[in-house]
Structure 1
Amino acid sequence: MKNRVKLSSIVLFIAVCIFSSCEKEKNNEPDILIESEQISYNFHIRPILSDKCFACHGPDANKRESNLRLDQAESAYQALEESPGKFAIVSGEPNNSELYHRIISEDPSEQMPPPNSNLTLSDLEINLIKKWIAQGAKYEPHWAFVKPQKNVPDIQSEWAKNPIDIFIEQALKQQGLSPNPKAKPHELIKRASLDLIGLPPSPEILGRLDEFNGEIGYEQYLDYLLEQDSYGEKLAVLWMDISRYADSYGYQDDNIRSQWPYRDWVIHAFNQNLPYDQFLTWQLAGDLLPDANKEQILATAFNRNHKYTEEGGVIDEEYRVEYVLDKTNTFSKGVLGITMECAQCHDHKYDPFSQKEYFELYAFFNNSPEKGYEGDVSISKPAKTPILWIDQKDTDELLQFINHKDTTSLSVSVMGELDKSESRTTYILDRGMYDSPAEKVSPSTPASIFEFPEEFEKNRLGLANWTTHPDNPLTARVFVNLIWQEIFGMGIVKSAGDFGMQGDLPTHPELLDWLAVDFMENGWDIKRLLKLILSSATYQQSAKITKEHLEKDPDNLYLARAPRLRLTAEHIQDLILASSGLLHHEIGGPSVKPYQPAGIWESASSGRGELATYIQDNGKDLYRRGLYNFIKLTVPPPKAIIFDSSNRDRCELSRGRTNTPLQALVMMNDPMILEASRVMAAQVFDKEQTVEEALDQAFKRILCRSMSSEEKQLISSYYQDQLDRFTDNPEEIFPTLNIGEYPLREQDLKPQVAALMQVIVSLYNLEETITKI
């Protein structure tokens, strides 16, 4: 016991020494920063004030103390009302600045932030503020509200393949890091395929690896991927999250809706490479374009994907207002990347958006003939007013991209505009309540972002023109950041839906600006943007992690290596179906209902309507891409939710990436995965002559590479164990293989197929299988 106590004391002593050393090291770095660097309001000071001061001294007039705003220079420089002759900030003089005295004070009656706020400033934060004041206390407009500039660092680089790499290399040098070597050809080919089409490369493509060793071959491969129909399906998953697409209306009855032609349009628009400015304009105001056609009107379904109630007894105006609020919030978050919804009930506490500006933006969406309540579930239509009707002539001509197999008309909820004689008056709603109108407002946009030009009409088309105007500082930045997030797992701005004061600062601000301007200068071309990123040396690095990476940049913020990212829920399904040969490549059409545990829908249903009971689809519909899985808002697909899919009840720009035991249970027991494994096992034995060849082929189809000698020995040993098991217990063969609806052939009921199926299930459960490396 004494020895154990003595050992514990030694361990504790060592831990304290290490901790103290780390603290000393951590504190030394900021001292160097303070001694050497010009302090920036945007990147050093504003985040401190925003976290610790703006709640009481920020934009929200209702919460402001002492009539002092620290978010505006003119207010911060003024004499204090409660202390005549004193100033919160005196430029160049921290010792005469009341702000500095308050943050270093130990007197509880003077100390800021006040002790009861449970907020404190670190020594580093205090020193930063002191030096900033000493340097002149220069305020800057919020970085995201300043028009981006296209400047490339003037450095020479042997590593860089395009301007992206110049920015990345400069930041790496500042962090004392160097880029990784280039990824191996098979890694790069798999990575690009997963990023651009969401599917693994076929064995035929892998067999031509040598052709892609040169830059020309790789560029050609990217062009090939960008021309596949699967490209539009891959990118559509992101936009379905943003547009909150679902196949039901939500709320209690949660009946079926028919918005899927809008999803078909999104896939088509991406495949046709519709410029992003047009892509947005059609969705915001396609119905207001001169001589608008049905495709442009269909695009406005973007605004109508929110939840609807079908319950009797609700107040029509209450829900109509709720729908307009949703449109406003989706636009501001999904397109502008700002948390405008925070200003619905009061002035924004952190960003320069007033409640008045919120309802001025709301006014653009407030003139639709949409209703709050349109009848109960028993008499409801698949679409709500206003409705676009699509007939067979439309799908034969203009709307050929809509996958509609019969001659019945389709109905889609879209936007419409009231005549001027019927137009609604918009009011600020007190506390955001539908029945508390206050001051009257007209359509407009937040002045802090970009003044609404007088020549633009004050309707949704004018809003679309404002949104895509070259002087708008947000739209292009937000979208290129989303694409960066799609590729690298995290945007240059981590908080993809919040470019405001409380959002994350960009890790590479100059790169973000360069990408945004370049994107606009080149016609808002999405395919070109993706190819630019995938052609960079940054993208083509190996994902190998070193000790130095973990010490200096554990989160890979500066991209000294390619990221290792688990695939999204939809693309895990896609990879398994594609590699097994089960994937049905049909594009578009109504959503499908794959395998799902029994009773889930029924336990969360009102018992009324078409979706009261889950009726599983059959045949080829079981093997569609994850994009087409039916989404019921009150009960989203359980497997997808386990893998962090959006539940689609609101606009989402980013998904989490958790790692839970439930995910492992899905990968080991899901009927689709087991079925795919036994189908692949049978297919491989049909083609290959020997067990060794069969194992090699299965491994290559799933992992997209050849086995190492160690892996081959391990997998062969496992196969032999399973073969012995089924040979000794033939009664287990049928129950093992009898999974899923794909026909089970009599000739496959043998130990070899069952054993190989178990090997394939294990391969699907490898981290490498469902991770983009």
Structure 2
Amino acid sequence: MQYPRKFLGTLAACLTASATALFAQSPVDYHTQIEPILESRCYRCHGPDKQESNLRLDRRISMLKGGDLGALVLVPGHPEEGELLKRLKSDDLEFRMPREGAPLDPSEIALIEQWVKEGAKWPGQMDAKEEKKTTDLWSLQPIEKSAIPANGSANPIDAFLQEKLSEHDLTPNPAAEPHTLIRRASIVLTGLPAAPERIEKFATDFKANPDQAYQELLDELFASPHYGERWAQHWLDTIRWAETTGYESNEFRKNAWPYRDYVVESFNQDKPYDQFVKEQIAGDTLGNDLGMGLLVAGPHAPASTVGQQPADIKQARFDRLDETIQSVSSSMMGLTFACARCHSHKFDPISIKDYYSMAAVFNDIEYDYRTPDLPAEHPRSAAGQRIMSAIAQERSQFENKQGWVEKWPDHLKVHFPESTTKSIRLNFKPGNFSLDEIQLYASATSTQNLTQQDGIQISSSKKEEHATRPVDYLIDDRLDNFFVWKHKKGESVSTPWVRIDFNDEQTLSRAELSVNRLAHYGWQYMVNKKGETVGGEVPWSFQSIEVLKQDGTWLTVVDAEQIEKNPESQQRIDRLNELALEHDKEAPPPVFIGKLIKPTKMHVMYRGSPTSPRAEVTPMAMEILDGDFGQSSDTPGPERRAAFADWLTAPDNPLTSRVMVNRLWHQVFGTGIVSTPSDFGKAGGTPSHPELIDWLASDLMDNGWSIKYALRQMLSSDAFRRSSAPSEQWSSVDSDTRLLWRFPPRWLEAEVLRDSILLAAGTIDLTPGGLGYHIYQPKLRYDQWKVVDNYGPHTWRRMLYQQRMRRVDDQMFTAFDFPDCAQIQSKRTRSTTPLQALNLMNGNLVVQQAEHLAKRATEEAGPVLDDQLRHMFMLTIGRQPETDELDVTRALANTNGLPSVARTLYNLNEFFYLN
């Protein structure tokens, strides 16, 4: 008689422990011994009908892969590695499975353990392969370039838009007036209104030949250096770039600004967007290091905030990786990847494995400074080569057996005769001093830090090391430590020392010693409690270096006191110190674009905790988009990022071009075809014109990924050139103007508003690039930045060049939705508050610039008041005043003076709206 399988399973589950042991003598049978246990205790939550955490226990392939938490449930042959036995055996009620009811009987657990140990044999499923994931998410479908609708529209964009307008029986507005159109195009492309004389010329040319005049205007605007400044601001918003770290200390990132200038230049050059993307992800492989500033654009907690506890350091490291993932995924992919850090994405097909595979891609990037590899013809490169040649010449004058010490602005370089040894000892003068990092090199020009080897031992003269700052932090290759190894005056040791022992003999000839070297860059504008400027102090307490000889005795290879006694050597050292200072000022400086480190193995972190690693993952992009590059945990970091960049810019990637053309559309028309520019997932918006966004995305790629080309298409459309006049009838059908029956008016961004005020007054300094202007007072480490001058002459540059600090109110333009840069902000919020009106009427900058505008009108328009008023209208809102407007402003000028008229014009809707 053949019994039903379920009956046999029930019988097996009820056996005593001794009977189970008897079964274990022969191979465990899945169907009769394991499946009944899983079916009765596990399938309710992880079976065919319900899969909590996206995990099915009725399929072997699902158990091998794991669920949303990223941990492998089953590792055949290794029960101790899989999650299954860990959960079944746990005493933690939150962790143990099953959560409902009593735990499994020990005999059942033993049976499952034996089954796994034997290879988890599962008849009928041993050769099962996982089905390829699919999704109905629109943004992950292939891009299809639809045929352009044949409705008589000259511009393909208008052809697609007209289809929707016709569906809703909407009649579009007529074309805008010439003075409105030139102001609109000028602000959209450069962020600056056109000059009065250019407006008048355009109006004249427009009457004769509208299309030619308009295309010539676009040519001029695209060629302007201010075009790159305008569009760089949009990109910097997208990645929330700023020049401070954020968090409690909010330290300044000196030399973060070269990345800003890189973005400006890239837009001005019309760098193909795919190249722009690649340089920002893997610029070190393409000869453009500066582009990689994107990878470290977000906030990060510096070492002073993190502390030295190992768990905190790990957490901070993964927080920094998360910021990088956010910057890349939101700006270039339009996906909220960070939502998968603790579990698979709740809405989109992004698994926790996808998240940590992407973390593996960027695991060689650290938030830090790096000296960029600039082209040889770059002025700073030439200066650096010249100065280093002079330094080499001075160094060559020292005798081979002689050592010397160079004082660079941020550290000491100690040179000594080439020595082969297994141990080196650095001695210091007694007293109050601190040391944070020791680096050892084989030669004067070597870049390989020999302390970064396995098995190195370090010890010191201190009897008791600080619990949270052990002496081995002196060789952790982190230049942003501070106060790691402190020695106080009066401590018992007469000569403080640090000893480093190698596994094998090493050839050494240079040591570099520093005290928080990066303070030289990051602590700019910082003071101590006494009000004194602080920075990276050099450890002048250095005394000598000794190396251990084979006979066990110590040999002094450099002695600072002996050097000081030799006038000739000291003069040469003084020259070297001068050259070092010159090099710091003129050569390529370390820039905040990320330090390259050796990537470690990456694991899925259980519930996002770096202290709970689970399955190892390799560098990959999204699985659902075939993001497997065929790489391993041993693949060098630059290769990982280069492969990711190639995947991201491949023609069949459905995200990159879609996301970018939508961002362009958003900035041109005020709202994207997808209203959520950084979220193309299921929680984001859906395209108002699906065929159009795909046509634009495909057209961008077909035309060399040219941003200027795509923008010209948009600005040449009838939709862009329409009047913004409202219509009660059409607003009832399309209240948010997504169908573009009119040009949607909108607030000017804070930067455009401020720049327009300065431009009208004639005070703006349009010098491009370089170090930004500073408006804050020096601060203590954990104080906040406070604005002391945001309207003085040194600030009269474009607002793009205001040093951008996180968590700071600039006391005027924050009221106009100037972003904080702490969070991803793909589009500016638009608010209307009393503070805006108060700032535009009474703010220090407005009052000051109104005086300058009045003075300019008097100087340029002559003595006649009406001429002055007309000129002020042209300078501010780009048109001549109507008769009644002239009457009102004339009366105001006669009563309160021209500056009052200027303030009134600055407060007109026409001035701070784009119509």
TM-score, length-scaled by structure 2: 0.60
Q: Give, in angstroms, the shift of residue 375 of structure 1.
A: 2.2
Q: Give, in angstroms, the shift of residue 699 of structure 1.
A: 0.9
Do the aligned partners of 2:148 and 2:159 also contact (CA within 8 Å) in 1? Answer: yes
| One-letter code aligned to 2:258 | P
Q: Which has the higher strand share?
A: 2
| 1:553-572 pair list within 5 angstroms | 553-572=734-753
Q: Does 1:505 align with 2:686?
A: yes
| One-letter code aligned to 2:810 | P
Paired with 1:242 and 1:763, the residues of 2 have a C-alpha distance of 32
Do the aligned partners of 1:533 and 1:539 also contact (CA within 8 Å) in 2? Answer: yes
| One-letter code aligned to 1:569 | A
Q: Give, in angstroms, the shift of residue 142 of structure 1.
A: 1.6
| One-letter code aligned to 1:632 | M
Q: Does 1:412 align with 2:591?
A: yes
Q: Give, in angstroms, the shift of residue 651 of structure 1.
A: 2.9
Do the aligned partners of 1:476 and 1:517 also contact (CA within 8 Å) in 2? Answer: yes
1:210 to 199, 204, 208: 204
Q: Does 1:533 align with 2:530?
A: no
| Distance of aligned partners of 1:695 and 1:609 in 2 relative to their CA distance in 1, 3 Å threshold | same
Q: Partner of 1:427: helix, strand, or coil?
A: strand
Do the aligned partners of 2:259 and 2:593 also contact (CA within 8 Å) in 1? Answer: no
Matching residue of 2:159: 166
Q: Give, in angstroms, the shift of residue 302 of structure 1.
A: 1.2
Paired with 1:351 and 1:142, the residues of 2 have a C-alpha distance of 8
Matching residue of 1:766: 908
Q: Partner of 1:358: helix, strand, or coil?
A: helix
Q: Does 1:287 align with 2:322?
A: no
| One-letter code aligned to 1:285 | A
Q: Give, in angstroms, the shift of residue 590 of structure 1.
A: 1.3
Paired with 1:483 and 1:318, the residues of 2 have a C-alpha distance of 36
Q: Give, in angstroms, the shift of residue 669 of structure 1.
A: 1.5
Q: Does 1:335 align with 2:332?
A: yes
Paired with 1:639 and 1:499, the residues of 2 have a C-alpha distance of 34
1:59-90: CA deviations, max 9, x gaps? 9954679999xxxxxxxxxxxxxxxxxxxxxx
2:238 to 217, 236, 242: 242
Matching residue of 1:152: 147
Q: Does 1:608 align with 2:781?
A: yes
Moved more, 306-315 or 488-497: 306-315
Q: Partner of 1:428: helix, strand, or coil?
A: strand
1:698 to 861, 872, 881: 872
Matching residue of 1:446: 622
2:797 to 624, 633, 654: 624
Matching residue of 1:593: 774
Matching residue of 1:381: 519
Q: Partner of 1:317: helix, strand, or coil?
A: helix
1:4-42: CA deviations, max 9, x gaps? xxxxxxxxxxxxxxxxxxxxxxxxxxxxxxxxxxxxxxx
Matching residue of 1:227: 223
Do the aligned partners of 2:787 and 2:810 also contact (CA within 8 Å) in 1? Answer: no
Do the aligned partners of 2:356 and 2:604 also contact (CA within 8 Å) in 1? Answer: yes
Paired with 1:164 and 1:352, the residues of 2 have a C-alpha distance of 31
Paired with 2:727 and 2:225, the residues of 1 have a C-alpha distance of 38
Q: Give, in angstroms, the shift of residue 720 of structure 1.
A: 2.8
Q: Give, in angstroms, the shift of residue 376 of structure 1.
A: 4.4
Q: Partner of 1:539: helix, strand, or coil?
A: helix
| 1:635-714 pair list within 5 angstroms | 635-687=808-860, 688-714=862-888
Q: Partner of 1:538: helix, strand, or coil?
A: helix
| Structure 1 unaligned blocks of 5 or more | 1-55, 69-138, 385-403, 723-754
TM-score, length-scaled by structure 1: 0.71
Paired with 1:59 and 1:586, the residues of 2 have a C-alpha distance of 66
Do the aligned partners of 1:545 and 1:561 also contact (CA within 8 Å) in 2? Answer: yes
Q: Partner of 1:410: helix, strand, or coil?
A: coil
Matching residue of 2:898: 756
Q: Give, in angstroms, the shift of residue 717 of structure 1.
A: 2.5
Q: Give, in angstroms, the shift of residue 382 of structure 1.
A: 5.6
Paired with 1:620 and 1:57, the residues of 2 have a C-alpha distance of 70
Matching residue of 2:351: 354
Do the aligned partners of 1:631 and 1:637 also contact (CA within 8 Å) in 2? Answer: no
1:669-719: CA deviations, max 9, x gaps? 221111111111012112323001111110111010111122222222222
Q: Does 1:306 align with 2:485?
A: no
Do the aligned partners of 2:322 and 2:359 also contact (CA within 8 Å) in 1? Answer: yes
Paired with 1:350 and 1:373, the residues of 2 have a C-alpha distance of 41
1:182-229: CA deviations, max 9, x gaps? 111111000000000000100110121211342011101101000001
Q: Give, in angstroms, the shift of residue 453 of structure 1.
A: 5.0
Q: Give, in angstroms, the shift of residue 161 of structure 1.
A: 3.1
Q: Which has the higher helix share?
A: 1
Do the aligned partners of 2:785 and 2:808 also contact (CA within 8 Å) in 1? Answer: no
Do the aligned partners of 2:149 and 2:163 also contact (CA within 8 Å) in 1? Answer: no
Paired with 2:519 and 2:49, the residues of 1 have a C-alpha distance of 45
Paired with 1:438 and 1:642, the residues of 2 have a C-alpha distance of 46
Q: Give, in angstroms, the shift of residue 276 of structure 1.
A: 0.6
| One-letter code aligned to 1:640 | F
Q: Does 1:720 align with 2:894?
A: yes
Paired with 1:612 and 1:265, the residues of 2 have a C-alpha distance of 26
Paired with 1:517 and 1:331, the residues of 2 have a C-alpha distance of 21
Matching residue of 1:459: 640
Q: Partner of 2:603: helix, strand, or coil?
A: strand
| One-letter code aligned to 2:892 | Y
Matching residue of 1:485: 666
Do the aligned partners of 1:248 and 1:633 also contact (CA within 8 Å) in 2? Answer: yes
Do the aligned partners of 2:190 and 2:229 also contact (CA within 8 Å) in 1? Answer: yes
| One-letter code aligned to 1:567 | L
Do the aligned partners of 2:674 and 2:687 also contact (CA within 8 Å) in 1? Answer: yes
Do the aligned partners of 1:334 and 1:652 also contact (CA within 8 Å) in 2? Answer: no
Paired with 1:343 and 1:59, the residues of 2 have a C-alpha distance of 24
| Structure 2 unaligned blocks of 5 or more | 1-45, 59-133, 369-477, 484-514, 523-582
| Distance of aligned partners of 1:183 and 1:57 in 2 relative to their CA distance in 1, 3 Å threshold | farther
Q: Partner of 1:552: helix, strand, or coil?
A: coil
Paired with 1:664 and 1:229, the residues of 2 have a C-alpha distance of 32
Do the aligned partners of 1:248 and 1:632 also contact (CA within 8 Å) in 2? Answer: yes
| One-letter code aligned to 1:173 | S
Q: Give, in angstroms, the shift of residue 608 of structure 1.
A: 2.8
RMSD between aligned residues:
2.9
Matching residue of 2:138: 143
Q: Partner of 2:591: helix, strand, or coil?
A: strand
Moved more, 318-327 or 193-202: 318-327
Do the aligned partners of 2:238 and 2:826 also contact (CA within 8 Å) in 1? Answer: yes
Paired with 2:714 and 2:673, the residues of 1 have a C-alpha distance of 13
Q: Give, in angstroms, the shift of residue 558 of structure 1.
A: 0.4
Paired with 2:303 and 2:787, the residues of 1 have a C-alpha distance of 20
| One-letter code aligned to 1:304 | V
Paired with 1:221 and 1:671, the residues of 2 have a C-alpha distance of 35
Matching residue of 2:107: none
Paired with 1:454 and 1:711, the residues of 2 have a C-alpha distance of 70
| One-letter code aligned to 1:151 | S
Structure 1 moving runs of 4+ over 4 Å: 56-61, 63-68, 369-373, 453-458, 609-615, 617-620
| 1:250-261 pair list within 5 angstroms | 250-258=246-254, 259-261=256-258
Q: Give, in angstroms, the shift of residue 617 of structure 1.
A: 7.6
Q: Percent identity?
A: 31
1:494 to 644, 669, 675: 675
Do the aligned partners of 1:257 and 1:382 also contact (CA within 8 Å) in 2? Answer: no
Matching residue of 2:655: 474
| 1:97-176 pair list within 5 angstroms | 141-157=136-152, 160-176=153-169
| One-letter code aligned to 1:278 | Q
Paired with 1:622 and 1:673, the residues of 2 have a C-alpha distance of 13
| Distance of aligned partners of 1:355 and 1:768 in 2 relative to their CA distance in 1, 3 Å threshold | same
Q: Give, in angstroms, the shift of residue 281 of structure 1.
A: 0.4
